Amino acid sequence: MALDKPYQDIPGTIIFDAEQARRGYWLNQFCSSLMQAENRARFKADERAYLDAWPMSEEQKQAVLARDLNWCMRTGGNIYFLARLGATDGLSFQQMAGSMTGMSEQAYRDMMISGGRSPAGVVGTPPAPGPCRPGPGLARISASVYTSHVPAIGVAIDQGRTEEPYWQPLFAGYAASRQWMLENRPDVILLVYNDHATAFSLDMIPTFAIGCAPEFKPADEGWGARPVPVVQGHPELAAHIAQSLIQQDFDLTIVNRMEVDHGLTVPLSLMCGQPPADHFSWPCKVIPIAVNVVQYPAPSGRRCFQLGQAIRRAVESFDAALTVQIWGTGGMSHQLQGARAGLINRGWDNAFLDQLIADPAALAQRPHIDYLREAGSEGIELVMWLVARGAMADVAGGPPPRLRQRFYHVPASNTAVGHLILENT
């Protein structure tokens, strides 16, 4: 990969980055389980049996059994999680640190009493200033897709009601898009959506989060999980994007395990159709990018637009030949609460679509209050469309995108539905 990792040149040091976190997820989860006394007792009674209950690699299990902390870290372990293993063995942090140096316990203590280890011996040339190298990346964003993600649309699909008079006009509006998707299938979709109090509770609400797991199960939102495939991720690209964005000063939350709700699965159903039972998988891999639009304040349209630009730079520095699409979902105008519930603003919605196509930089300057007053309290979801639009080539000085589809329909349950496809040219 072309992304800078200068810390790989520091001898005797293993940095726990997004790639390591993905690799060591279950190893670190095992270590966390040892924070409970009953689990420590079960582990000590039969270490191999306890380890076999976790989906860790055989190498990780052998590293644990050998109590080789350096080996554990090479396979994705983090020292703060591995400390639970050391504590289970009755070791102090100093004893664990000493075990990794090749020194005896007494020699390590003497070294620390003498002032600790000198940093001398670091090799390599310091990296040039800047968050990441441009690099000869091979991945490219080919198109952006914009669509509402109404839960009732998923219900209509799942229950075979798409030809009913109420629903038929809406699904007809996506027929050309499904054909376009068949002809322009990407390797990976970066799907920008908001979690609807499913994966994230009020205990933790990240402003921006990226899913780095190998798969994401459909969530049960209270009515049972949708009968759709498990979403297959692309952890290598996701980890690369996460590191690149954080180096570009976006405080991104890395999520290594989560379920995905209708905000992500309904757009897939609209664009890809419902996979048949004998081929129960989506046609390409998906990286979820979750944006908080549930608890105020949501990120500004300007910040979302900047995030899209940073995502494009991250994708283009990934050194693998991948075709990538980015989807912005949510909206359009709708309000689900209070005396204004049922608000729809056709004029505002269509003006938003016009400006999103022709002048997204100006659209990104709209303040939150415009969305709330004109598009409804839940219309703020439209800021997520600016993430996808910011990732398009014209924003970085390339040619204007080609408009391949535009559709607008009222209503779908409580919501106005909007849809665009823009191709990079």
Please state, in angstroms and rounded to a whole number, the distance separating the CA atoms of residues 273 and 281: 11
Whether 419 sits among the annotated catalytic residues: the reply is: no
Omega before 411 within 30 of 0, i.e. cis: yes
In this structure, the strands spanning 323-329 and 140-147 are parallel
Q: What are 190's strand-pairing partners?
A: 287, 326
Please state, in angstroms and rounded to a whole number, the distance separating the CA atoms of residues 153 and 214: 27
Catalytic residue among 262, 279, 368, 409: 262
Contacts (Cβ under 8 Å, ≥6 apart) of 171: 156, 162, 163
Distance, C-alpha 59 to centroid of its chain: 28
Whether 149 sits among the annotated catalytic residues: the reply is: no
C-beta of residue 167 within 8 angstroms of C-beta of residue 154: no
Please state, in angstroms and rounded to a whole number, the distance separating the CA atoms of residues 345 and 324: 32
Helix locations, 89-224, DSSP H = 93-99, 105-113, 151-158, 168-172, 175-183
Angle at CA 253, nearest 5°, toward 379 and 313?
85
Smallest CA-to-CA distance from 329 within 392, 271, 250 is with 271
Contacts (Cβ under 8 Å, ≥6 apart) of 128: none
CB atoms within 10 A of CB 61: 19
Contacts (Cβ under 8 Å, ≥6 apart) of 268: 189, 191, 228, 231, 282, 286
Please state, in angstroms and rounded to a whole number, the distance separating the CA atoms of residues 12 and 219: 42
**132, 160, 258 from 21: Cα distances, Å:** 20, 41, 15
Q: What DSSP character marks residue 216?
A: E
Catalytic residue among 334, 368, 409, 419: 334
Q: Per this entry, what is the length of the chain? A: 425
Catalytic machinery residues: 262, 334
